[in-house]
Amino acid sequence: KAGVTQTPRYLIKTRGQQVTLSCSPISGHRSVSWYQQTPGQGLQFLFEYFSETQRNKGNFPGRFSGRQFSNSRSEMNVSTLELGDSALYLCASRSDGNWEQYFGPGTRLTVT
Amino acid sequence: ILNVEQSPQSLHVQEGDSTNFTCSFPSSNFYALHWYRWETAKSPEALFVMTLNGDEKKKGRISATLNTKEGYSYLYIKGSQPEDSATYLCAFDNFNKFYFGSGTKLNVKP
């Protein structure tokens, strides 16, 4: 079974631009969560999608948004990028009734 | 915002030493507690999911205990090996909303 994949792996953007990151969960997993890790910070929860609906949301500004498609693939969008958005963005998928989350390799976003 | 704390922040041990880390979390409305191992340049890997007070889980040389009433979990590594070098994260699962600690970075010297 293929693992969680994320594209792109690395990205460099300029302040003020917007960016879209993609996450393909493990086949059959309907829950996809997104996390941000910045230097010196632990993993911070952005949001969770389940069956195309946002089920949970962390404490991030509205510039961070996401969506999930019918095939469970998820995208995360950050608008009006700020230098502080430079981070590793991880997604994780989970199957129904299963406790474990499986993480993707992450997208390293650098904002200059 | 829920506060999840891990200690120590980092640990340097010799091969063969046994070690343990602590994860503290809110003791009210407990749902589940997860432990992950995160090696450099890899994805976090699930170690344990603990749901009941008094839970004890074991995988090889690694084990974990859970006390939901007082809000802490311990992770133990017996006879540390260099390949155990990684950051160990705990996460408080608040009904599918995860709150991670900042991790304990373990370095095992051969």
CB interface of B with A, residues 23-52, below 8 Å? 32, 34, 42-46, 49, 51
Would you give the distance in Å from CA A27 to the centre of its chain? Answer: 17
CB interface of B with A, residues 77-106, below 8 Å? 89, 91, 93, 95-103
pLDDT classification of B46: cutoffs 50, 70, 90: very high
Which residues lie closer than 8 Å to A88 by C-beta, 6 or more apart?
A36, A37, A38, A106, A107, A108, A109
Q: What are phi and psi of A76, to 5 degrees?
A: -125, 135
User: How much of chain B exceeds pLDDT 70, in percent?
Assistant: 99
Cis (ω within 30 of 0) for the bond into A105?
Answer: no
Residues lower than pLDDT 70 in chain A: 1
- CA B50 to chain A, closest CA, distance in angstroms equals 9
Per-residue pLDDT tens digits for B5-35:
999 999 999 999 999 999 999 988 888 999 9
Per-residue pLDDT tens digits for A23-51:
999 999 999 999 999 987 789 999 999 99
C-beta separation of A45 from B99 below 8 A: yes
Say whether B34 and A56 touch across the interface (CB within 8 A): no
